[in-house]
Each structure stands twice: as structure tokens, then as C-alpha cells.
Amino acid sequence: MTAIEKQLLDRILVLDGAMGTMIQRYPLEEEDFRGERFASHASSLKGNNDLLNITRPDIIFEIHKEYLAAGADIIETNTFSGTTIAQADYHLEDAVYDINFQGAKLARDAADLFIDKPRFVAGSIGPTNRTASISPDVNNPGYRAVSFDELKNAYKEQVEALMDGGVDVLLIETVFDTLNAKAALFAANEVFEHRNIALPIMISGTITDRSGRTLSGQTPEAFLISLQHIKLLSIGLNCALGSELMEPYLAVLSDKSPFAVSAHPNAGLPNAFGEYDETAEIMAQKVDSFFKKGLVNIIGGCCGTTPEHIAKIAELANHYSPRKFIHGTNS
């Protein structure tokens, strides 16, 4: 049993909050994203937050420390778009290994500063900006912008770098297409077999709207069934919805999942300006329902959340017992 599995049996673990929201607090310009290494790069790089692992590591390191100080047990690497597929938009495929390695190392170094309780680093693996299940061409339903093997190869490179950088867990998150997630899982297991070592894996899907389905059309139960043949540390939901709207779908996973269940909802829904208005106090009050109903083992925040949100949620989580699940199922 790994250290994080032992912790999950005893308490609710707290995941950190949004990285992008925190980066937006800094007045960054094109030069911040370029640094010395990419000063002459042909494409605009502003907005490529993952690149800051290389060009402004001081900012990413500070954000990690803020979340740890707020009480986060698990911090995510700043590598959500760290695949060759996603970085192709910036013509930075060659920088992918360094983005992930440095992202993992920054989080590892920050976590190791906090020795009051066990802290864990989760390698963030996003869905990429392509889907393997849906055609982007309405005139050609059979067309796919990416193949399973292309996704698998891209994820494999990311996983290698994250492991080299020292992550404890892999977090395949914001899953809108389960086939993409399966490519990531396939890649991870190839790396595990080659290295003769396996890391715990967290999966987190996204219910895109009030239809209660992922973008590729799955209900939460179908999402679970599609993935439960694989040994997972946890399965859960993140993004798109605030706590209230997420709760009924989370309840389905909680009822059916043989694994730990995670949730990191947004700070409500975005306003007309794309900003999130839900304060730390309000979000904590809503998340309290998750705790009272015994729905979760891991709790954190997604878009719009900050260390203030995580501090309030962590304070609440300390007063509740974790959701009960059968440890070792499918092991």
C-alpha cells in the first residue's frame, strides 16, 4: 500500500485549487513567457502557462507554496497542457519534456518544504485540445483530428517526464472524452511496465453542462464503468460546474465507485466577464454538503479557486470522516 493510499483510509485529503486563476494575479507580458530560452521563438507565447515552469519558475513555486500553506495535501503540477499535441499550438513540441520535468520538480521541491504532515505531488495530465471520439467536421462524421496512438505517444512522453521530476501520483483530469483518458492510461501503464514501477492514478471527468453527461455523451455511471477495470486510486469530477450543480453527479460516482472519489469543482459558474464570483466562504458552505453526505475522499478546487478557498475547505474537511470504500478492489 502506498503512502497516499494509507492516508486516504484515515482522512479526507485536500487537493489544491486553480493554477490559472493564480497566474492571472501576476501582470505577465510576452517577455515573461519567452524568457531567455525562447526569446527569438517565432510564435507568440503569452498565455502558455505551462511554459512558466521554465521561464518564470519563481511564480509557479510561490503558487505551490501558497496552496500548501493553505492546507493542501496534494498539489498539482503546472502541466495541464504539457503534451506535444497541446504545445503544437505554440510550435513548442521540443520543449515538452522540460515543461513536465521542471513542473514536477517545482512542485516536488515545494511539497518537500512542508513536513508537518504527508504532502503529495500529482502530475497533471490534461485532455489535450483534440478528441478521439468526435469528429470536428460536421460534414464528415467519421473524421478524427487525432488517433489513439498519437494520443498515447504524446501522453507517454509526458508521463516519463513527470515521473523523472518526482511526482507521487498521476492525475488524468478534466476528461471530456473517455477514449482520450484510455490513451493516457495505456501510456502510463506502458511506462510503468518499462520501469517496473507503478504510480497511483487519479481520474477526474468533466460533466460539461446540466445534461449530466461528458462531451462525448457519457453519464457519470457510464464513465465509471468504462474505466473501472483498471486499478485506480480515485475517480471523480472537476471543472465546468460549481459545487451545487456537481453534487448529484458526484453522488452517482460515490454510490457506485469501488475506488476513492474526488471532486474539485469550480468556484460557481462564470459571470458575463468569464470571472468567478463565489467566495471562499460561500464555496465552503456548498462543499460542506459533500462532507455531510459522505460523498468524497479527496476535495479541492478548479477554475476560480484560490488558496483562500482551499484554506476554508481544508478547515471544514478536518471535521469529517472520509467516504468509505473497499480498499484494494481490482488490485
Say if 324 falls within a structural domain. Answer: no
Partner residues linked to 238 by β-bridges: 264
Q: Which domain holds residue 73?
A: 3-317
Number of structural domains found in the chain: 1
Three-state secondary structure call for residue 131 = coil
Least confident of 37-46, 106-115, 321-330: 321-330
Helix residue spans in 112-177 (DSSP H)? 148-165
Say if 323 falls within a structural domain. Answer: no
Give me the pLDDT at residue 139, please: 82
Does position 147 have pLDDT exceeding 70, yes or no? Answer: yes
Counting runs of H as helices and runs of E as strands, what totals does the chain give?
13, 8
Say if 329 falls within a structural domain. Answer: no
Give me the pLDDT at residue 331, please: 37
Q: How far apart are CA 225 and CA 261, in angstroms?
A: 14
> Cα–Cα–Cα angle for 297, 184, 251, nearest 5°?
30
Rounded to an integer, the average pLDDT of 4-23 is 97
pLDDT per residue as tens digits for the range 196-216: 999 999 999 999 888 899 988
Give me the pLDDT at residue 216, please: 86
Say if 217 falls within a structural domain. Answer: yes
Q: Would you place residue 327 in the very low, low, confident or very high pLDDT band (cuts 50, 70, 90)? A: low
Partner residues linked to 248 by β-bridges: none
Q: How far apart are CA 216 and CA 17, in angstroms?
A: 26
Does position 77 have pLDDT exceeding 90, yes or no? Answer: yes
Give me the pLDDT at residue 144, please: 79
- pTM attached to this predicted model: 0.95
Say if 197 falls within a structural domain. Answer: yes
Cα torsion 314, 252, 78, 279: sign: negative
Give me the pLDDT at residue 329, please: 44
Q: How far apart are CA 55 and CA 43, in angstroms?
A: 16
Say if 331 falls within a structural domain. Answer: no
Domain harbouring 267, CATH code: 3.20.20.330
Rounded to an integer, the average pLDDT of 53-71 is 98
pLDDT per residue as tens digits for the range 150-179: 999 999 999 999 999 999 999 999 999 999
Give Cβ neighbours of residue 297 (< 8 Å, ≥ 6 apart). Answer: 8, 12, 13, 234, 260, 261, 262, 322, 323, 325
Say if 127 falls within a structural domain. Answer: yes
Say if 327 falls within a structural domain. Answer: no
Quick one: which of 303, 299, 306 has its CA closest to 322? 299
Q: How far apart are CA 178 and CA 222, in angstroms?
A: 10
Does position 328 have pLDDT exceeding 80, yes or no? Answer: no
